[in-house]
Amino acid sequence: MNIKEMVEQRKDDIISTTQEIIKIKSVEDEPKEGMPFGEGPYKALEYALNLAEQMGFKTKNLDGYAGYAEFGEGEETLGILVHLDVVPEGDGWKYPPYAAEIHDGKLYGRGSIDDKGPAMAVLHAMNILKDMKVPLNKKVRLIFGTNEETGWGCMKYYFEHEKSPDIGFTPDANFPVIHGEKGIIKFDLVKDINTNCANNIVIKNIKGGSAVNMVPDYCEVTLETKDSKLVEDAFDKFMEKNQYQMILERKGFTFTIKAKGVSAHGSTPEKGKNAITYIMQFLGTIIDCECDICKFINMYNEKIAFKHHGEGIGCGFEDEVSGKLNFNPGVIRMEDDKIVLSINIRYPITFTAQQVYDGIRENLKGTGIELIEDDDEMKPLYIPEDHFLVQKLMKVYREETGDEENEPLVIGGGTYARAMENAVAFGPVLPDQEELAHQPNEFISIDHLLLLTRIYGKAIYELAK
């Protein structure tokens, strides 16, 4: 019996276990004892490890940060790195995001493609190889992370306590093979503000976005003014001119304007519709003074709005290997008389984070806006196309899909491949598939889930034999 036949035979188990882990809302939350990233991520880890143990794998829970399932013998280890945490579900779902319902052959749920579906595909592929008693010369270790979306503390803890695998891949990006990943940084632009405008508008609050690595699908501003006609007329005129989803609510002299955008992954901001930008564009039509907050709004509209590659703010870098920089304003908030805009950038492989920071700071000179760096930089990853790992995975991909056209890729997304040497990202999204990670109505088709199980089974065999 071959891998394809075994996958078909175990189809129901593959589907049901994927459903069960999707039902666990594994968004990072307040830490608890033994649960460093909250109860949800821990429960997902616990489920995966219990399932692996039932299958007969050696398992280990690394204090709730991460865990692994392993089988095989040998001096070297093949590592497959997956994550069980998910980004917040956001709005706009046709089916409940944690119900794992199947409709028209598609399994819907947050994490179905990013990254729980692929994680279950790998686990079942390993189990099939183990049960087939396929001879392997390396240990095979499936490493479960629980903090990929919000900081990688899981991988930091894992590699502080465990030896790194010799080679590896992560099923958390695109096919055919991702041999390069742009550098990733996040930072805040902060400005002290006085919320009283010269034209008698008081901006009480601006808030939008839920994660810096997502295009924000919601933003709202609350303001006060006795000149209600100014706000109402400006809003009507703005909506006549722009096809945005926005509403205006009024209670006395208080107005709340709410904008609905379209979420997308922070590495592809051009694929979403940024609700923060909609609010800032509207505010730009009703402010007309030199106060602190008006200057910030005008800066945003001049240098950031609809400019997805940093070209307006001093970091519009590009190279031949990895293309243009990606610039995503993901979260905005007002706190302690400050306005804070959190930004996520994916910079080209041949540039550095320092060049990005220097370019932005130079561009913002004289504005009173401070750039506050985050320490969690992910440096670029690059493995040549003729590397053993890339060549083997390309061979498997071509054999299983029949795709002879698509070549290895460089992406703006950040995957666990960066966590170790000699690792690349390998799937799960096919070249002709819509990118659904971090979006409402995320799903994985049943056919795709089974295809992944076959591909990863063959990839493990080729790399560990």
Which residue out of 28, 89, 114, 148 is catalytically annotated? 148
The contacts found for 58-62 with CB under 8 angstroms, 24 or more apart, are: 62/157, 62/158, 62/161, 62/162
CA end-to-end span of the chain: 18
Q: What is the dihedral of CA 310, 312, 315, 317, to 10 degrees?
A: 70
**d(Cα 68, Cα 146) in Å, to the nearest integer?**
12
CB atoms within 10 A of CB 235: 19
**d(Cα 362, Cα 203) in Å, to the nearest integer?**
28
Active site residue 290: no
**d(Cα 255, Cα 179) in Å, to the nearest integer?**
50
Q: Percentage helix, strand, coil, to 5, in the chain?
A: 30, 30, 40
Phi, psi of 213, rounded to the nearest 5 degrees:
-95, 20
Q: Give all strands (DSSP E) within 146-297, no chain letters.
A: 167-170, 173-174, 178-181, 183-192, 202-208, 218-224, 245-251, 254-260
Mode of pairing for the β-strands spanning 381-382 and 370-373: unpaired
**d(Cα 176, Cα 115) in Å, to the nearest integer?**
17
HSE at residue 412, side-chain half, CA atoms within 13 A, is: 24
Active site residue 148: yes
Which residue out of 28, 85, 114, 188 is catalytically annotated? 85
Q: Which residues are marked as active site?
A: 85, 148
